[in-house]
Amino acid sequence: MTDTFHPLDPLSAAEFTAVTRLLGEEHGVTPPQWRYASIEMFEPSKADVAAFDANGTHPDRQAVVVCFERTSNSTHKALVSLRDSKVLAFNHIPDQQANFTVDEWEEADEALRTNPEVIAALAERGITDMSLVFMDTWTYGDVLIPDKYKGRRIGWSDTWVRSAPGRNPYAGPVNGFHCVIDLNTMELLEIEDTFTVDRPEVMGEYVPRHVPDRIRNQSTREPLKPLDITQSEGPSFTLTGNKLEWQNWSLRVGFNYREGMTIHGVSYRDNGRERPIAHRLSFAEMMVPYRDHCDDHYRRTAFDIGEWGIGFMTTSLELGCDCLGEIRYLDATLHDSKGEPYEIKNAICIHEEDNAVLWKHVDHDDAEVRRMRRLTVSFHVTVANYEYLTYWRFYQDGNIECEVRATGIMVVSHFPDGQEHPHGSLVDDRTYAPFHQHFLVARMDLDVDGTENTVYASETQIEPVGPDNPYGLSLRQVNTPLQTEAEGKQDMNYATQRAWKVVNENTTTGLGLHPSYKLVPGGAFPAMFPPDSPILARCRAIEHTLWVTPNNRDERWPAGEFVNQSSVDHGLPEWTAANRSIVNTDVVLWYVFGIHHITRPEDWPIMPVDVVNFWLKPVGFFDRNPSLDVQASPPAACHAHHEHGSH
Ligand SMILES: [Cu+2]
């Protein structure tokens, strides 16, 4: 087997084990007194990566670790050299909570379900079969933590009851019943038993055998005939280790506990010349505030990346269901809170897709048409009730598309007859789904033809009617360089169709232009918070569609490094307060988009995917259509050649 190692490869199982062994030996970081919240490869600098690519110089292989001691509730951060088998730093981080761990989530469910007080309180409500109960523990924002519990690592739980084994727990909310739990001791601190609602007759099942006959028998849908995707000669891409090459594209796939899949070193081979486009692409934060101030929902603001880690939430993909065609998978390796490694099989899916027509023209009798093929690199995460499916797609015309699909089960509450539910939509009998928003922050370190780039706001202006414009027709495209981080705070503008170009002004193309890639926004919406909201204070990153910062490897988390139980946003608002120059430098774009989810009956009992996307498109990067050389499909594939008409 050839050595495919690259310094950007994620940590291996052996490396996780080496890290925990060193921290155990040198600092006594051992379970169960300690938990490992996160272990991540400390990514080498751009210069170190470049040196490895140029001459094979190995940078130190390092891991950054967040762990916490449970008795003292103290968070520590460590840096470990794997090359030298040495702990380089081990520091106490005061007043910060590490991310939630999956182990805590599962242990809290177990602790609460077996707690005699919980059992007694649920029995009062007629719930006696605890095997049908599921206690789903959520995180807190600091402002919502009762004073008496300040300084502790706590969670609050929803209670859900399946109507029978195997049925959907999220169809059975126990409204007005929440537990507060100390996650270090797994001690029940409080049962909040505030109100009850008679359970309505709901149809919350989506697994066919649990959907009642009366619903299933209504269906007149014909079954589908098979649709087979075959690639008789295999896929057109090559995957060598984590390096992926296809149709002039070249990139690396990475993975970590927090961002899940990451994309590195994206370049395009333009007639033999390797041209960099992006150094690193990932999702750096997700914020999901539920916009309903009732007892059941006011604490429900999830930071799925900062608090939970969408790497930890990544699920295995299944051939023929999640991805169709000739697939290559990458497995991912992570660790539990004991620091022990485990594998997520088929965590990342890589495949080609046919996507209809790429370009076409019919000149009288002569048609030229090219099919579009795209390369899709994707991963899926399940965050308790919800799923996020993420796709990065690379196209033959130089476009890059990022698409996110949200699906899964909405959180619902029941309400008594005659009561209003002003902050959500009716989805079933006396059942509503609260409005909420899914804000995603994409972190994009673009390097368009090199690291030094300048970002321009690119907008269309209407020219007034006048002697030079008698019919009021002319449009002008105005490009404004963003020079400082203050100017880099940008919002969507429908009226001017604002987009943002990342330009390299240090080089020119054959047309004499400065090459650029344009961020074409999609799925953007305003934060919609009153400015003094303490919930907004935790994530001011969502106040703008775009932020631009000079690249700093320590600036990765837009809402701050430690988001669990946070009170203010220590990320983008603090960094950009320095108002650094962003001219002709190594810029990072932070793009805020997502889903403004005004819930619908059609989203229940399981939500068909809501799809949002944005694009990175070459603008003056190439001298002409770079897909001019895409070959025509073989004649056999284009039957019915052709009865022509006219336009
Ligand atoms: Cu939603």
- Whether the per-residue pLDDT at 376 is higher than 70: the answer is yes
Q: What is the pLDDT of residues 203-252, one digit of tens each?
A: 999 999 999 999 999 999 999 999 999 999 999 999 999 999 999 999 99
Catalytic residues, by residue number, are 304, 386
Residues 165 and 301 in one domain: no
Q: Flag whether 647 is in a domain.
A: no
* 638 vs 428, higher pLDDT: 428
185 shares a domain with 165 = yes
Whether residue 644 lies inside any domain: the answer is no
How far apart, in whole angstroms, are the C-alpha atoms of residue 53 and residue 51?
5
Domain-embedded: residue 224: no
Q: What is the pLDDT of residue 640?
A: 52
**319/188: higher pLDDT:** 188
636 pLDDT above the threshold of 90? no
How far is residue 304 from each of residues 197, 228, 269, 421, 620, measured CA to CA in Å?
30, 36, 36, 26, 37
Provide mean pLDDT across the span 127-147. 97
- In contact, 70 and 32? CB cutoff 8 Å: yes
In this prediction, residue 638 carries a pLDDT of: 66
Higher pLDDT, 174 or 647: 174
Is residue 323's pLDDT more than 60?
Answer: yes
In this predicted structure, what is the pLDDT of residue 318?
Answer: 87
626 pLDDT band, cuts 50/70/90, is: very high
**Residue 647: DSSP 8-state:** -
- Among 129-133, 258-262, 317-321, 492-496, the minimum mean pLDDT is found in 317-321
C-alpha 107 to ligand 1 mean position (Å): 27
One domain for residues 288 and 335: yes
E strand intervals along 290-326: 301-302
DSSP labels, 587-634: EEEEEEEEEEE---GGG-SSEEEEEEEEEEEEESSSSS-TTTTPPPPP
223 upstream amide cis, omega within 30 of 0: no
Q: Read off the pLDDT of residues 291-318 as tens digits, 9 standing for 90 and up.
A: 999 999 999 999 999 999 999 999 999 8
If phi > 0 it is left, if psi is from -120 to 50 it is alpha, else beta; for residue 298 that is alpha
Q: 432 and 569, same structural domain?
A: yes
Q: Are 308 and 410 members of one domain?
A: yes
Ligand 1 mean position to 560 CA, how many Å? 23
List, for residues 336-371, the tens digit of each pLDDT value: 999 999 999 999 999 999 999 999 999 999 999 999
What's the gap in Å between 287 CA and the centre of ligand 1? 11
The predicted pLDDT at position 639 comes to 57
Q: Is the pLDDT of residue 321 over 90?
A: no
CA torsion sign for 409, 414, 420, 426 is positive
Tell me the pLDDT of the chain averaged across its residues.
Answer: 96
Task: For residue 386, report the distance from its CA to the centre of ligand 1, in Å.
Answer: 8
Between 375-384, 433-442, 485-494, 635-644, the lowest mean confidence (pLDDT) is in: 635-644
Number of domains within the chain: 3
Ligand 1 geometric centre to CA of 300 (Å): 12
For 54, the domain range is 13-93
Alpha-carbon distance of 371 to 637, in angstroms, equals: 11
pLDDT at 645 over 90: no
- Asked if 132 and 81 sit in the same domain, the reply is no
Q: Could you tell me the pLDDT band of residue 637, with boundaries at 50, 70 and 90?
A: low
Reported as a single tens digit per residue, the pLDDT across 576-619 is 999 999 999 999 999 999 999 999 999 999 999 999 999 999 99
pLDDT of residue 633: 87
- Residue that terminates a domain, selected from 54, 70, 93: 93
Q: Does some domain include residue 642?
A: no
Whether 610 is in a domain gets the answer: yes
Task: Convert the pLDDT of each residue in 71-123 to its tens digit.
Answer: 999 999 999 999 999 999 999 999 999 999 999 999 999 999 999 999 999 99
Within 13 A of 348's CA, how many CA atoms are on the CB side?
24
- The answer to whether residue 59 scores a pLDDT higher than 60 is yes
Residue 495 lies in a domain: yes
Distance from Cα 170 to the centre of ligand 1, integer Å: 14
Give pLDDT, residue 132: 98
CA within 13 Å, CB half, 483 = 1
Same domain, 121 and 86: no
- Structure confidence at residue 319 (pLDDT): 83
* Cα 313 to averaged position of ligand 1 atoms, centre (Å): 17
Would you give the DSSP letter of residue 149? Answer: G
Report CA torsion sign: 117, 118, 121, 127: negative
From 93, 126, 147, give the residue that closes a domain: 93
Tokens in use for 141? Answer: 């924002």
| One domain, residues 108 and 87 | no
CA of 533 to the centre of ligand 1 (A): 21
**What pLDDT sits at residue 646?**
46
pLDDT (0 to 100) of residue 635: 75
Tens digit of each residue's pLDDT (9 = 90 or more) over 468-497 = 999 999 999 999 999 999 999 999 999 999
188 and 246 together in one domain = no
What region, left, alpha or beta, does residue 23 occupy, with left being phi > 0 and alpha being psi -120 to 50 degrees?
alpha
Q: How far is the CA of 500 from the centre of ligand 1 (A)?
A: 28
121 shares a domain with 84: no
Q: Please report, for the domain that includes residue 624, its CATH number.
A: 2.70.98.20
88: domain CATH number is 3.10.450.40
Q: For 168-190, what is each residue's pLDDT tens digit?
A: 999 999 999 999 999 999 999 99
Q: Which residues contact 150 (CB under 8 A, 6 or more apart)?
A: 142
Counting other chains too, the contacts that 494-500 makes at CB distance below 8 Å and 24 or more residues apart are 496/459, 496/460, 496/461, 497/459, 497/460, 498/457, 498/458, 498/459, 499/457, 499/458, 499/459, 500/455, 500/456, 500/457, 500/458, 500/546, 500/589
Residue 578 placed within a domain: yes
At 50, list the tokens.
């470049």
Q: Are residues 574 and 624 in the same domain?
A: yes
Q: What is the pLDDT of residues 454-469, one digit of tens each?
A: 999 999 999 999 999 9
Return the amino acid letter for 118: V
Whether residue 529 is predicted with pLDDT greater than 80 in this model: the reply is: yes
Query: What is the rounded average pLDDT of the residues 418-422?
Result: 95
Percent of the chain with pLDDT over 70: 98
Structural domain contains residue 645? no
Asked whether residue 345 falls in the same domain as residue 485, the answer is yes
Q: At what angle do helices 116-124 and 102-113 cross, to 10 degrees?
A: 60
